[in-house]
């Protein structure tokens, strides 16, 4: 009988999705946030990732508790990665007719990036993750948002992080895909469509360029403007439409973080923790984290009912 | 007087869309035939040009003739050679974002001055708001007073093509980057009924140069922003919005001035379809006023 009650409890519990938006290196803040959620006992039933967030979502979905270690290993491999400039890009951009120019144009040689992704997720397929995982990219030709949920994680992640002009787009199932942030920097709707009741949305605003002294910085500034507008607009829409409970976790960053700022990882993870901690009381009420343990444990485990108070210092 | 003051305020919002914005003239034609005037006009990017012509008080026919001469392919045909060199050797020649534009803007500035002279926004017949984007922080900026030509120039400052434009000390770029269809400006200025015409940016058929690549990216992002904003406003429903998003069967390129008649006709057809609903909304306003 008691087991039956417990099972009903589990079935009736709202399903929780974590959505990790685009934000380059800033996305590692999500690791700190996830750590806080796990410590508080927040159940996570689905992970959605976009651009830089797709890597964290993949770690989350594969269920590794040691995500930090994996992250730091990945970050180590980032060293120097964004310095392998593809010198063929210059003649292509200047004389497209002679050297050939196409959608696959990029300034960076992507071999190190591809190797790092394989190193991080291997040949794992979507079907093998512990909880369902969705990765968002953008169709380069039509601009549509594309949700990836089959095949290899490495292909999906590579497509999702294809920062325009920096990394070349990636072909998946015959579609040329680019950075998911170009269509939706925080794809909360993917979790809604999958039926999530509570959506924890980890998003990151881009910082304006500190100085604009060349064309590339100008391109990035224009991109920053639109992506931030898109992020705010999508969040405004989700909060008005209220199809599901959306809890944004947006870390307060006091500095600009670039892709190569590997030294800021600890700072980012800490800010991710702080941002998540602010939402824990609300999540506890919403998910009745304390109440659930009381009713499932029953009177025989009375001391356990005081656990929520003691574990929340 | 009581009826007059409590009449519903109608706004026309013209989104970005280069020569396609001429469909707004079609809307103006239909509504003026029906005796419906606008209490306010909002324009973004090329939409700012059409909004300005209306706010100045031109009829649809005159506006069509004027834009056929004003917004043509030539305005972007003259290269700014210095800008190209600066982009290639930024350190040596000095790259500055506030002056960088691959196209020379002398011709468009000349034409804008010829058309609008020294007009000031606050003196126009119909209240006008022109939107641009703050280059440093990305915020939407609504220009509701000051030099009309400066406001239009800022609103059409297409990134990389035209240099940003400084207005009241703020460096501004194309309005479509912050909102391709700025309904919020009409709402904040008290519009009850908003007739809005917006356009998706066209996608490239081939991406054969860095310029086309950049255009493709900006189309992807601004179209997604258009959809997102639009979804928000329809959900929030602060005002009645009559949205006209024409889907042209013929492909209209950025400066297809030859298709102007076709575009205006499409605008008229779209407006005629929405007329019954618009009449109903405005009638509701009057009944409310009488009973009050």
**Tokens 């601009």 label which residue?**
A143
Confidence of residue A108 (pLDDT cuts 50, 70, 90): confident
B218 touches chain A (CB under 8 A): yes
Q: What percent of chain A has pLDDT over 70?
A: 81
| Candidates A45, A109, A179, A184; catalytic one | A179
Residue A297 has pLDDT above 60, yes or no: no
pLDDT the model gives residue A83: 66
Residue A286 has pLDDT above 80, yes or no: yes
Put simply, the answer to whether A101 touches B208 (Cβ < 8 Å) is yes
Q: What is the DSSP string of B88-116?
A: HSHHHHT--TTT--SB--HHHHHHHHHHH
pLDDT the model gives residue A240: 82
Confidence of residue A312 (pLDDT cuts 50, 70, 90): very low
Asked if A60 contacts A18 with a C-beta cutoff of 8 angstroms, the reply is yes
pTM: 0.84
Put simply, the answer to whether A102 touches B207 (Cβ < 8 Å) is yes
Exposure letters B84-100 (e unless 16+ CB within 10 A, then b): eebbeebeeeebebeeb
| Interface with chain B: mutation pick from A22, A88, A138, A143, highest number of B CBs within 10 Å | A143
**Tokens 């690549």 label which residue?**
B213
**Tokens 């030099």 label which residue?**
B147
B177 touches chain A (CB under 8 A): yes
Taking the CA of residue B65 and the nearest CA in chain A, the distance in Å comes to 34
A90 touches chain B (CB under 8 A): no
pLDDT the model gives residue A2: 47
pLDDT the model gives residue A290: 62
Residue A177 has pLDDT above 70, yes or no: yes
Mean pLDDT confidence for A146-166: 94
Instruction: Of B227, B231, B144, B157, give the one whose Cα is nearest residue B188.
Output: B144
Residue A9 has pLDDT above 70, yes or no: no
Instruction: Of B245, B228, B184, B199, give the one whose Cα is nearest residue A183.
Output: B228
The terminus-to-terminus CA distance of chain A in angstroms comes to: 34
CB pairs under 8 A between A and B: 117
What angle in degrees, to the nearest 10, is found between the helix axes of A29-39 and A67-78?
180
How far is A175 from A19, CA to CA, in rounded Å?
24
Instruction: Of A113, A42, A45, A34, give the one whose Cα is nearest residue A68.
Output: A34
Structure tokens at A295: 């009713």
Which residues fall within 8 angstroms of residue A75, CB to CB, at 6 or more apart? Answer: A25, A28, A262, A265
Question: Quick one: DSSP state of residue A205?
Answer: P
Confidence of residue A70 (pLDDT cuts 50, 70, 90): low
Confidence of residue A239 (pLDDT cuts 50, 70, 90): confident
Instruction: Of A213, A219, A226, A220, give the one whose Cα is nearest residue A258.
Output: A220
Residue A113 has pLDDT above 60, yes or no: yes
A54 catalytic? Reply is yes
Q: Residue B203: its chain A contacts at CB < 8 A?
A: 141-143
Q: Residue A178: its chain B contacts at CB < 8 A?
A: 220
pLDDT the model gives residue A310: 37
Put simply, the answer to whether A233 touches B213 (Cβ < 8 Å) is no
Structure tokens at A179: 């950075």
Element (H, E) at B278: helix B260-291
- pLDDT tens digits, one per residue of A22-69: 998 899 999 999 999 999 999 999 999 999 999 999 989 987 666 667
Q: B75 burial class (0-12, 13-18, 19+ CB within 10 angstroms)?
A: buried
Instruction: Of A117, A118, A155, A119, give the one whose Cα is nearest residue A135.
Output: A155
Confidence of residue A78 (pLDDT cuts 50, 70, 90): low
Residues linked to residue A249 through DSSP beta bridges, in sequence order: A202
Put simply, the answer to whether A101 touches B223 (Cβ < 8 Å) is no
Instruction: Of B195, B177, B174, give the one whose Cα is nearest residue B186.
Output: B195
Q: Residue A101: its chain B contacts at CB < 8 A?
A: 207-210, 213
Question: Quick one: DSSP state of residue A13?
Answer: S
Residue A1 has pLDDT above 60, yes or no: no
How far is B282 from A221, CA to CA, in rounded Å?
43
A271 touches chain B (CB under 8 A): no
Structure tokens at B82: 């210095």
Put simply, the answer to whether A103 touches B207 (Cβ < 8 Å) is yes
Instruction: Of A178, A225, A88, A241, give the one whose Cα is nearest residue B172.
Output: A225
Which residues fall within 8 angstroms of residue B225, CB to CB, at 6 or more apart? Answer: A226, A229, A230, A233, B179, B180
Asked if A177 contacts A155 with a C-beta cutoff of 8 angstroms, the reply is no
Instruction: Of B163, B169, B181, B146, give the one whose Cα is nearest residue B45.
Output: B181
**Tokens 């770690």 label which residue?**
A59
pLDDT the model gives residue B285: 60
pLDDT the model gives residue B286: 53
Confidence of residue A88 (pLDDT cuts 50, 70, 90): confident
How far is B212 from A103, CA to CA, in rounded Å?
9
Question: Quick one: DSSP state of residue B25?
Answer: H
Mean pLDDT confidence for A87-108: 74
B99 touches chain A (CB under 8 A): no
Confidence of residue A300 (pLDDT cuts 50, 70, 90): very low
Question: Quick one: DSSP state of residue A221?
Answer: H
Put simply, the answer to whether B210 touches A93 (Cβ < 8 Å) is yes
ipTM summary value: 0.81
pLDDT averaged over 10-residue windows placed end to end, chain B, 292 residues: 66 94 95 94 97 95 90 82 80 82 89 96 98 94 98 94 94 95 95 94 82 85 91 83 86 82 94 93 64 38
Asked if B197 contacts B24 with a C-beta cutoff of 8 angstroms, the reply is yes
Give the up-direction half-sphere exposure of residue B176: CA atoms within 13 A in the CB hemisphere: 28
pLDDT the model gives residue A14: 92
Strand bridging mode B140-143 / B128-134: antiparallel
Q: Phi-psi category of B43—alpha, beta or left, where left has phi over 0 and alpha has psi -120 to 50?
A: beta
H helical segments located in chain A = 2-12, 29-39, 52-62, 67-78, 89-94, 96-99, 111-121, 153-160, 188-193, 215-241, 265-287, 289-297, 307-310
Asked if A86 contacts A106 with a C-beta cutoff of 8 angstroms, the reply is yes
Q: Residue A234: its chain B contacts at CB < 8 A?
A: 228
Mean pLDDT confidence for A206-222: 83
B97 touches chain A (CB under 8 A): yes
Chain B 105-134, CB below 8 Å of chain A: which residues? 133
SS3 state at B210: helix
Q: What percent of chain A has pLDDT over 90?
A: 50
């Amino acid at each position: 009988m008691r087991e039956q009650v417990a099972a009903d409890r589990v079935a009736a519990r709202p399903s929780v999705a974590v959505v990790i938006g685009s934000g380059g290196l800033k996305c590692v803040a999500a690791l700190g946030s996830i750590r806080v959620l796990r410590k508080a006992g927040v159940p996570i039933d689905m992970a959605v990732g976009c651009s830089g967030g797709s890597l964290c979502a993949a770690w989350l979905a594969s269920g590794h508790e040691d995500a930090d270690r994996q992250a730091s290993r990945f970050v180590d491999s980032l060293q120097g990665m964004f310095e392998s400039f593809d010198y063929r890009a210059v003649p292509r951009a200047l004389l497209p007719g002679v050297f050939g120019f196409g959608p696959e144009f990029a300034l960076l040689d992507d071999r190190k990036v591809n190797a790092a992704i394989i190193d991080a997720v291997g040949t794992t397929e979507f079907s093998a993750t512990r909880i369902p995982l969705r990765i968002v990219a953008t169709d380069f030709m039509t601009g549509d948002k594309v949700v990836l949920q089959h095949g290899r994680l490495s292909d999906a992640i590579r497509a999702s992080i294809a920062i325009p002009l920096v990394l070349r787009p990636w072909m998946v199932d015959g579609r040329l895909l680019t950075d998911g942030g170009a269509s939706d920097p925080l794809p909360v709707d993917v979790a809604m469509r999958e039926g999530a009741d509570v959506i924890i949305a980890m998003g990151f605003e881009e910082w304006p360029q500190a100085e604009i002294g060349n064309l590339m910085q100008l391109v990035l500034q224009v991109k920053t403007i639109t992506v931030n507008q898109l992020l705010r607009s999508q969040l405004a829409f989700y909060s008005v439409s209220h199809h599901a409970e959306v809890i944004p976790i947006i870390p307060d960053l006091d500095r600009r973080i670039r892709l190569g700022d590997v030294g800021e990882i600890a700072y980012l993870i800490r800010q991710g923790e702080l941002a998540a901690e602010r939402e824990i009381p609300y999540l506890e009420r919403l998910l009745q984290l304390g109440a659930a343990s009381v009713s499932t444990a029953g009177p025989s485990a009375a001391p356990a009912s005081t656990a929520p108070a003691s574990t929340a210092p | 007087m009581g009826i007059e003051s409590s009449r519903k305020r109608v706004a026309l919002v013209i989104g970005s869309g280069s020569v396609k914005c001429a469909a707004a003239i079609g809307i103006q034609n239909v509504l003026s035939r029906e005796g419906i005037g606008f209490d306010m006009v909002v324009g973004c990017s090329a939409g700012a040009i059409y909004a300005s012509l209306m706010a100045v008080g031109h009829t649809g026919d005159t506006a069509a003739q004027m834009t056929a001469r004003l917004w043509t392919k030539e305005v972007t045909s003259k290269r700014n050679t210095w800008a190209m060199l600066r982009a290639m050797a930024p350190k040596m020649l000095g790259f500055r974002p506030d002056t960088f534009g691959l196209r020379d803007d002398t011709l468009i500035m000349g034409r804008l001055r010829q058309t609008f002279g020294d007009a000031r926004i606050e003196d126009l017949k119909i209240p006008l708001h022109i939107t641009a984007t703050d280059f440093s922080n990305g915020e939407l900026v609504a220009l509701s007073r000051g030099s009309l030509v400066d406001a239009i120039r800022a609103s059409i400052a297409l990134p990389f093509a035209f240099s940003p434009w400084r207005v009241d000390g703020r460096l501004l770029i194309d309005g479509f980057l912050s909102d391709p269809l700025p309904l919020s400006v009409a709402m904040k200025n008290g519009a009850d009924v908003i007739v809005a015409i917006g356009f998706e940016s066209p996608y490239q058929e081939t991406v054969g140069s860095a310029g086309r690549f950049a255009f493709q990216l900006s189309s992807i992002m601004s179209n997604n922003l258009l959809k997102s904003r639009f979804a928000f406003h329809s959900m929030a429903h602060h005002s009645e919005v009559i949205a006209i998003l024409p889907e042209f069967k013929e492909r209209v390129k950025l400066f297809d001035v030859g298709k102007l008649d076709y575009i205006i006709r499409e605008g008229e057809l779209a407006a005629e379809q929405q007329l019954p609903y618009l009449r109903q909304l405005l009638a509701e306003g009057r009944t409310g006023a009488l009973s009050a």
